[in-house]
Structures are given as structure tokens and as C-alpha cells.
Amino acid sequence: MADTNKLAGVVRRINSLPSFARSKALTLLFGKAIPFTGTAGLKVESIDANNCVITLENKRRVQNHIGGIHACASLLLAETATGLLAGINIPDDKVPVVKSVTANYTRRAKGDMRVVAKLTDEQRQRMLNEDKGDVDIKVTVMDSEEKIPIEVTMIWAWTPKKR
């Protein structure tokens, strides 16, 4: 992964650690940078230029009234995974922002949750080369049965930092 910005450089260095230490280091890094992710208990399993995987255990602090992971917590997973991908791919002279979120809850979630976000090489090139724009980052949220309880569309935009 080429360093598109300072954050990408830190992630590249963490990804060079032995495999047993990577997830813990990534989780600590993003938990410090985005405190709410640490409060919720999100675990960054892996991240590179094109993919991000995050998990969330079904613990009391993130549960709804029926004992499953709260709808907002499942949406937090999607927003965080797509945001981290945007964050490591958008150059430091631009600002990433969420442009829109659409969520359709299709079934009751069972157990822990896992989210996988993916960027195409074409989307990455747009982030690097276009002064401003937006992309629909593909994201899949799954429960412990590998079923998809929520269908999410996340559109991230970028604009130049104020001069």
C-alpha cells in the first residue's frame, strides 16, 4: 500500500507487525483517534488500501431491548469501516465527510457482528486525483450466522481543506 497520507503510513507500519499484534494495534490506533469506537468496543481486524474488516461482540453495552446488537451499533460498524477506508485513501490536503447513509434493516441480527468494506482501484484513483467528489463504498454487515441483517449504502465525499 502506497502512503496516500500520514494515516496510511501509520497503518502500513502496523500491518508490517507480526500477525498476532496487528488487530490489537489497529484497534488501539483507531480507538485513540475516534474514541467512540473504543467505547462501543469495535475491533479492527484488518485494513489495507482496498479492504477493512471490523467486528463487534454482542455485549451488554451495545445491546438493544431484545438482547441483540442495537441498530445504531450496527450502523456504527458500517460507518467506521467505510470511514477508515476513506481516511487512509484521501490525501492529507482533502477532508473526508459522510455524504449520505441509507440503511434497510432486513432481519433480526443474531450474536456478534462483522463488517467488510471494499474500495475498488478506480474509486481509490478518484480519491487521489480528483479535487472533490464522492464514492459509494461497498459495505456488508453480517451477524454470527453470516446472514445480512442490515443493508447499508455509505457515500463518502471529499473536498479540499480550506486554504
Per-residue pLDDT of the chain (163 residues; tens, 9 = 90+): 568 899 999 999 999 999 999 999 999 999 988 899 988 999 999 999 999 999 999 999 999 999 899 999 999 999 999 999 999 999 999 999 999 999 999 999 999 999 999 999 999 999 999 999 999 999 999 999 999 999 999 999 999 998 6
Q: How many CA atoms lie within 13 A of 131 on its CB side?
A: 2
Cα–Cα distance for residue pair 63/125, rounded to 1 Å: 38
In a domain, 29, yes or no: yes
**pLDDT score of 130:** 96
**pLDDT score of 3:** 82
In a domain, 53, yes or no: yes
**pLDDT score of 162:** 81
DSSP β-ladder status, 51-56 and 43-47: antiparallel
In a domain, 31, yes or no: yes
In a domain, 108, yes or no: yes
**pLDDT score of 1:** 53
Cα–Cα distance for residue pair 93/100, rounded to 1 Å: 22
In a domain, 1, yes or no: no
**pLDDT score of 159:** 96
Could you tell me the residue range of the domain that residue 67 belongs to? 6-160
Least Cα distance to 52 among 15, 85, 22 occurs for 85
Q: Provide the CATH number for the domain around residue 99.
A: 3.10.129.10
**pLDDT score of 49:** 94
**pTM reported for the whole predicted model:** 0.93
Cell of 71: 441498530
For the chain, the domain total comes to 1
Cα–Cα distance for residue pair 51/117, rounded to 1 Å: 6
Beta strands across the sheet bearing 43-47: 43-47, 51-56, 113-118, 133-143, 150-160, 94-105
